[in-house]
Chain A
């Protein structure tokens, strides 16, 4: 997770020094991150996701002077992504619910959380769907074991075992990759 931020920031700093190749690497690496970000927020089938992704890429390019290399890159990027999304809704005359706005604007570590989310998703995708689903329900959505069992249509012990095995597999993977 740290290496991702590290790598993106290195490319960004390279681009700021005039390294076009690093800049291209950065923009290319941002595409899946931004798609995941907007899918999560606007719904996976929203047809304007690609427009938003491109708008963010253009902004990252033309307004890159506003990135301060001593600050986290993820925070800067997500501030732009969030702005573009709110601006999109505003242009459409759609109001963004105040609750969401508060959540978006005020959560101090919202950026860190979003990056962590994207990474979590990527990690969970490496597990069998059953285990991933069980972990998501109990550890991310915060359901109880009984509720999770209801939702996925499995027995409670099955959920417990899946969570246990899944977390163990993830831990092994993390140790392996570090």
Chain B
């Protein structure tokens, strides 16, 4: 096609773009994917029956503080990498803060408990499935983010895929909290983080192929 014809065609369709469009688009992808994840939890796993009771105690909120802060930080990083000219992350080590905070809480918990209980706290009842669940529940959110990226322009595809996977993992974990009754911080620190890391790794692996434009 001739270039001036192309320009004519493109200029026919110029809807206004809201400010912060990148952030909104990512948020929309996560919310869309998150609905599918919530649906899957409701249908296949079920919400934990004592959810409203649990929400009054600290353990539930410690879990959420961890996964949500990780989710927000990784969306922020993804939004940066979604622009072609802002490839570098300003402070990637910030992402380690939630991890460090949770490790601190875990250490305090362990000190207060008799060493005989440590193994049980670490493995909980569901350590075998927890990481896999977080990983699987992150998949719809990752797909939602792939939709977001169709209007975005990452130039470092592996990094962008990695942070998108991290965001999907963190939000998948956040929703998994609605099902998972585990309470100890070191359980979350180990098995949730493992699932989130798997999601991030998968994102980094797939990024160069799926995020091309």
Contact = CB atoms under 8 A, between A and B. Distances in A.
Interface stretch (A76-84, A116-124, A126-134, A161-169): A76-84
Given A27-B7, A28-B7, A54-B1, A18 B15 contact: yes
Given A66-B83, A79-B155, A80-B84, A20 B212 contact: no
B25 A79 contact: no
B25 A71 contact: no
Contacts of A83: 84, 153, 155
Given A63-B213, A79-B155, A58 B83 contact: no
Contact of A63 (B4, B86, B152): B152
23 contacts: A15-B14, A18-B15, A18-B16, A20-B12, A20-B14, A21-B11, A27-B7, A27-B11, A28-B7, A54-B3, A57-B6, A59-B153, A63-B153, A63-B213, A65-B21, A66-B83, A66-B153, A68-B83, A68-B86, A71-B85, A80-B84, A80-B153, A83-B155
Contacts of B212: 87
Given A53-B3, A58-B6, A83-B155, A66 B84 contact: yes
A93 B4 CA distance: 30
A150 interface: no
Nearest to A83: B155
Contact of B3 (A57, A71, A76): A57
A79 B7 contact: no
B119 interface: no
Interface in B2-60: 3-4, 6-8, 10-12, 14-17, 21-22, 25
A65 B85 contact: no
B84 A19 contact: no
Interface string B73-96: 000000000111111000000000
Interface residues of B, number: 28
Q: Do most interface residues of chain A lie in helix, strand or loop, or is the interface mixed?
A: helix
Contact of A16 (B16, B83, B213): B16
Interface residues of A, number: 35
B213 A23 contact: no
Nearest to A105: B87
Contact of A79 (B14, B15, B21, B84): B84
B151 A63 contact: yes
B6 A54 contact: yes
Interface of A: 15-21, 23-24, 27-28, 31, 50, 53-54, 57-59, 61-68, 71, 75-76, 79-80, 82-83, 87, 111
A66 B152 contact: yes
Contacts of A82: 155
Given A54-B3, A66-B152, A66-B153, A18 B14 contact: yes
A83 B85 CA distance: 10
Nearest to B25: A65
Contacts of B82: 66
A115 to B, nearest CB: 13
Contacts of A53: 3
Which of A15, A17, A63, A76 gathers the greatest number of chain B CB atoms within 10 Å? A63
A76 B11 contact: no
